[in-house]
Chains A and B, each alone.
Chain A
């Protein structure tokens, strides 16, 4: 559901006196800044290609769009540029380089240049390392892939395609059902 639809839903709910005299455009004007997709601030082209490919293997396009369509690489780029500390940024970029090094060792190309099957082989090893740490009750936060996967999921499920198409998130449900059948929206 798009924001405009959400607002029309709200206006259509019975008895919304607070909206009287205000147009949907007024309410839309209250929205935060809309991010323009565009230039990258922290990732170079090689790093970006790895990030795009890796995120897409974690959340691929299926019957709904995947991480690429959700601009997960832009989200990660923004965090690298404006959120991470210098040490965290360096460690994360090292992690990206390590993914490429593993790819070259496994199939002789950069990660992004591999087939899906070749890429999934590398991802399975990375994910297995994180799972092993977790099963040994050890901290996973220091592992690059744990952080990358968490950021991919966050960026995807908070994107417009992730929320509207994958989650079918309703901004304004208009009701509360306390015990509805699975799949109800």
Chain B
């Protein structure tokens, strides 16, 4: 295969797929380097394989999971079906201090984690983009909502988002396909919320990248349920079914799996990156590929790791690290404060089909009025459901009576589960571990990350407000909870190569362009200057498309 291209994209997941599509469609011959294996949907997707065709009937292979995936198995989606989409932890080590665990959930294959993502998509607003400037944590974002809004439109029109428009300033509406319906219990809770909280707190159906009608050659959802195992009809968005085919259709895409990028190559005379160094994942061969443009879309921590491993003499602590900020300001959403309870009535009603989506309560703290106990805020996901046979193990009885009782589902349950904003802090950071390498001989990360009092205060408030909202809905048996999830498990890791206005305090400029090497762009979660509380993937996609358009324009002007 040729070794020289117009552009190299590292990673083929949510961000890499978008970079590939936009760069190819704008005329660049683009090489996408993916560290993992190819995915063939017809062979690899397993969403319709019933439990009885799985060795452990879906109970999971405990021995294999404890041996190979002690970290990955902490993710709900890493089950007996989908565990093959998560890395083997023995091949992909990293380290942390003993007293501050960080769970790094990774997917290395064509499509990356876009195969198993939870598909929730929420625009950010100026409440988020102005947050750092307002309260002084982190540096100011170098852009505002108006800069990104047309790119949110662009992304949403392509990938297909179902959801309900609300007209809320803190959660801008998008280009929505028809929303999925709320179920009976969720309607009761929504109506009680509207009556009690006067519009300050709102419950809506989740905005999700799952099609409610056919869209751009992809079929509407058939409600089988487990999207994280793949989707043969491409009814939810992932890069395999959408962006990579669009890139391929241009005739300009070359996709090379099993290509583990070690570092970015840099030419000090030209002040530019010249390509990347690759270790072939199968042969361990050391390779180089060259291009005029390099997009790092390998996931927040992998992109930063590549930059830290890129050490030309001018940048001895890593390309992009002139400011000393490379690796710093790691964030993840703090999750797991909430409450659950029983909603009486509607015992003659059930749902049919498995809706791959829940409810959403947009942020209401520190929106209109300042909360005395903490900065920023959180949103709730969750929803209503009736338990099935699974409750049988905690019921008394056995025999025909038990079997008969389990034919009718239990009472409606409702659960609120919060996701909160994490403040950017330089003390949460990654560095190269001086002693350890991965299965390809590449130095691994040592991750230092811990929650602060602000995140802990958010968790406590989640439990309080979820309880209030369930009380307002007349729920009984309300059980508040505050989980103790280590950072990382939100799988919204962000930061470590932040965007900013000043090369002295940031790694990237307003166009995701590396201050140290103007033909290097980082457009995945690494670029994030703050974390907001919304699921971040659509913002990565919008930033990627925007950066690609800018990069091609600069290339055509001879600026790169």
Pick from A34, A59, A176: contact of B402, CB under 8 Å? A59
**Residues in A neighbouring B408, C-beta threshold 8 A:** 182
How many residues of chain B are within 8 Å of chain A by beta carbon?
68
A57 to B222, CA, bound (A): 37
Are A30 and B43 closer than 8 Å at their CB atoms?
yes
**Residues in B neighbouring A160, C-beta threshold 8 A:** 50, 52
Q: Is B397 an interface position by the 8 A CB rule?
A: yes
| Interfacial residues of chain B within 387-429, with CB under 8 A of chain A in the complex | 388-390, 392-394, 396-400, 402-404, 406-408
| Known interface pairs A16-B233, A27-B232, A178-B184; A62-B349 also in contact (CB < 8 Å) | no
Task: Scan B351-375; emit 1 where CB is below 8 A from any A CB, else 0.
Answer: 1111100000000000000000000
Q: Is A7 an interface position by the 8 A CB rule?
A: yes
Pick from B43, B48, B234, B398: contact of A172, CB under 8 Å? B48
Are A59 and B403 closer than 8 Å at their CB atoms?
yes
A178 to B404, CA, bound (A): 24
Are B399 and A58 closer than 8 Å at their CB atoms?
yes
Pick from A78, A153, A157, A179: contact of B56, CB under 8 Å? A78
Are A171 and B50 closer than 8 Å at their CB atoms?
yes
Are B184 and A179 closer than 8 Å at their CB atoms?
yes
| Known interface pairs A62-B403, A79-B59; A18-B219 also in contact (CB < 8 Å) | yes
CB-CB nearest in chain B for A6 = B48
CB-CB nearest in chain B for A85 = B62
A135 to B483, CA, bound (A): 25
| Interfacial residues of chain A within 20-40, with CB under 8 A of chain B in the complex | 22, 26-27, 29-35
Are A158 and B396 closer than 8 Å at their CB atoms?
no
Are B59 and A33 closer than 8 Å at their CB atoms?
no
**Residues in A neighbouring B388, C-beta threshold 8 A:** 167
**Residues in B neighbouring A31, C-beta threshold 8 A:** 46, 49, 53
Are B393 and A171 closer than 8 Å at their CB atoms?
no
List 23 contacting pairs A-B, 8 Å CB cutoff, sorted by A: A13-B233, A14-B219, A15-B219, A19-B233, A31-B49, A32-B55, A33-B54, A60-B400, A75-B57, A79-B59, A120-B399, A123-B398, A149-B398, A158-B52, A158-B57, A170-B353, A172-B222, A175-B352, A178-B355, A179-B181, A179-B187, A180-B352, A181-B349
Are A17 and B46 closer than 8 Å at their CB atoms?
no
Task: Scan B49-86; emit 1 where CB is below 8 A from any A CB, else 0.
Answer: 11111111111011100000000000000000100000
Are A175 and B398 closer than 8 Å at their CB atoms?
no
Q: Is B218 an interface position by the 8 A CB rule?
A: yes
**Residues in B neighbouring A62, C-beta threshold 8 A:** 400, 403-404
A45 to B63, CA, bound (A): 26
Q: Is B491 an interface position by the 8 A CB rule?
A: no
Task: Scan A46-76; emit 1 where CB is below 8 A from any B CB, else 0.
Answer: 0000000000011110100010000000010
Task: Scan A141-185; emit 1 where CB is below 8 A from any B CB, else 0.
Answer: 000001001100111011110010011011111111111111111
**Residues in B neighbouring A26, C-beta threshold 8 A:** 42
What is the predominant secondary structure among interface residues of chain B facing chain A? loop
A127 to B396, CA, bound (A): 7
| Known interface pairs A33-B55, A158-B58, A172-B48; A182-B349 also in contact (CB < 8 Å) | yes
Task: Scan A86-115; emit 1 where CB is below 8 A from any B CB, else 0.
Answer: 000000000000000000000000000000
Q: Is B158 an interface position by the 8 A CB rule?
A: no
Chain B: minimal CB distance from A37 (Å): 11
**Residues in A neighbouring B200, C-beta threshold 8 A:** none
**Residues in B neighbouring A177, C-beta threshold 8 A:** 351-353
CB-CB nearest in chain B for A159 = B52
Q: Is B217 an interface position by the 8 A CB rule?
A: yes
Chain B: minimal CB distance from A140 (Å): 8
A150 to B393, CA, bound (A): 5
Q: Which of B42, B52, B183, B403 has the most CB of A within 10 A?
A: B52
**Residues in A neighbouring B406, C-beta threshold 8 A:** 153
Are B181 and A10 closer than 8 Å at their CB atoms?
no
Chain A: minimal CB distance from B420 (Å): 29
CB-CB nearest in chain B for A145 = B398
